[in-house]
Amino acid sequence: MDGLTLVTGGAGFIGSHVVDALLMSGSDVRVLDDFSTGKEENLDGAWALAAQGGAGLQVIEGDVRDEVRMRDAADGCEAIVHLAAVPSVAQSMEDPVGCDSVTHGGTVNAVRQAVEAGAERFVLASSCAVYGDAAELPIAETTSPRPLSPYAGAKLASEGVCADAADAGQLTAVCLRFFNVYGPRQDPGSAYSGVISRFLSAAAAGEPVTIYGDGRQSRDFVYVADVVAAILAALQRALTGTSVLNVGTGRQTDLLQILDVVEERSGRKLERRLEPAREGDIRDSRADAGRSRWVLGWEAEIGLPAGLAATWEWFTAGDSGA
């Protein structure tokens, strides 16, 4: 995509990395973010890139559910990367109505305004949570969804909104089902943060870590730079209709293994506090990313040791707020 690209949630963890990558590729970028979880400092690098010339950056502060703000943000855009959501299973269990309003309702508004603006492509950040506790691993896109939380249900419904618009010939939709994303800029103090950011933050501060469940639950951890590469491929590949694709490494690691690596990296033995498993959390997860290789020409390149090392470097550089 050579024209203007809108990134909703562009000041967030994943979104700010997407903005950086688009600017580095020479694309003009517009950000829509209400800064409820996104941070202005996440865009510092983007402003520096824009100042170097070659691509423009605009930031609109607003809620993705706001029809006027969303219309202004989508105006003139060739493509939209929709990352704005309530990205937390636990939060969705506490406030299912609020989660659905932002995650699903925001997608309805974003797709509507994308169509009105004549955007050609809509890339949705979906989630592996839609699969629930899959009976077999690895999980392919043909696995029947079994959402266990309002968050997962809202993401699945959002995919349906995208598919409806694509089926009507209004745009091309790519729904990327992210597995467990980690990396620099993931806020460990947020209720929405992932387990790796919380573990690294605890290690940096010399504090205890909390594990929900027995610690043997496993995840497919995918580094943020690989996720960004998948998003850019979804923008650039010649596609039609709707594509639903897994974004994961195809490898699974349990939480106690993660802790072992974090302790090795930090040189600290961490106190481990066990709490009951949280409602809505799945037991095991591992992606079959074969369709993404075929459709997007994409596969994860950064292994867990390298990704953890880069993330630990960010935490200990004093930029994380930890």
Burial annotation 265-297 (CB, 10 A radius, 16+ → b, else e): bbeeebeeeeeeeeebbbeebbbbbebbeebbe
Q: What is the C-alpha to C-alpha distance for residues 105 and 275, in angstroms, rounded to an integer?
A: 33
Spot the catalytic one: 131, 151, 182, 223: 151
Interstrand relation of 209-212 and 242-247 (parallel, antiparallel or unpaired): unpaired
Concatenating the DSSP letter of every residue in 52-111 gives TSSS-EEEEE--TT-HHHHHHHHTT-SEEEE--S---HHHHHH-HHHHHIIIIIHHHHHH
Task: Tell me the one-letter amino acid at 221.
Answer: F
Q: To which H or E segment does residue 272 belong?
A: strand 272-275
Can you tell me which residue has the tokens 């009105």? Answer: 116
151 is annotated as an active-site residue: yes
Q: Looking at the annotation, which residues are catalytic?
A: 151
